[in-house]
Structure 1
């Protein structure tokens, strides 16, 4: 009876320790989750504060940069998350001059060198008709990030040149895209085909459409996904 009692006591003690360990792990997970939420909320508040600061400033670059330097002066680390969120808020509000100023300031600090930042800045240059600045940025991106440039960024630059009626430049970007093995989306294919047409290079126009444009599309019909032949334009139909 004594041995049985000792064994039962050891089993109860082991079970009690296991329960305690599980409870400790659950508390740890909960604390980690709360810390993440608090941090995210903090960067969001900082972002809104930054947007208010720059929105109330005059348009002079010096005044904006001075205010941004003051905003970041007491930070132990560069507030990258808050700055990136502020950039997206300004983009949604179509405050393109502020987008350009904030992005340039951030990149000048060596921060935010991502495809997302470059995409936002190229879009702002496009809307603000700063083609020369967009071209300088694009050349830097090509030189620095040759093998990691996203399809979206190539498409952004091609659409920028398209908006400003520069078909030769569009084809230059497309040539880099092909060389790096980045397959264009269908909107970009149409833009490039149109550029070749403007330059009266019909054979290359047909070649681009034949190589990259899908002959099929998928539509939803009676709750099913159905493949059907695409209705082609005259230019697209002429290659078949």
Structure 2
């Protein structure tokens, strides 16, 4: 549970990390993550964890991406999105860890079978357009 001001602090660090990454300073973003945030992954929002996974992915820090994902799983955090799984999947493949990739896909196959939010939105729009065409 976050204490009274901790939510604001986490959000501030998130903005700082995002700004550093946009300024092509991913290594500094990683250092801030390690020193200030990563010590308690249970209380870090998935949005921030996803940002770090994306930074590691975009900056070819694949070993760090896999390490972070493993740490999140180790503390009982189940990945909420296919987007993150795909990044980890590609990282495993690029590092030649094909057995780990296979295990990952098996573990999260339910995420791939479930339609994403964007798929549901498209489906609703399609149904509305279909109703208008019938009337």
**TM-score, normalized by length of structure 1?**
0.43
Shift of 1:195: 0.2
Picking from 1, 5, 12, the partner of 1:117 is 12
1:202 equivalent to 2:98? Answer: yes
Shift of 1:118: 2.1
**Whose helix fraction is larger, Structure 1's or Structure 2's?**
2
Structure 2 portions without partners, runs of 5+: 1-7, 129-135
1:136 equivalent to 2:40? Answer: no
Structure 2 CA distance, aligned partners of 1:153 and 1:196?
A: 22
Output one character per residue of 1:149-205: Cα deviation in whole Å (capped at 9) or x when no partner: 111111111110111111111111111111122222210100000000001111111
For residues 1-240 of structure 1, the aligned pairs below 5 Å read 112-114=8-10, 116-139=11-34, 140-143=36-39, 145-184=40-79, 185-213=81-109, 214-218=111-115, 219=120, 220=123, 223=127
- Residue-pair matches, total: 112
Larger RCO of the pair (alpha carbons < 8 Å, separation 6+): 2
Which runs of structure 1 show a deviation greater than 6 angstroms over 4 or more consecutive aligned residues? none
**Whose strand fraction is larger, Structure 1's or Structure 2's?**
1
Output one character per residue of 1:63-99: Cα deviation in whole Å (capped at 9) or x when no partner: xxxxxxxxxxxxxxxxxxxxxxxxxxxxxxxxxxxxx
Structure 2 CA distance, aligned partners of 1:162 and 1:215?
A: 20
Match for residue 38 of structure 1? none
Structure 1 CA distance, aligned partners of 2:27 and 2:112?
A: 37
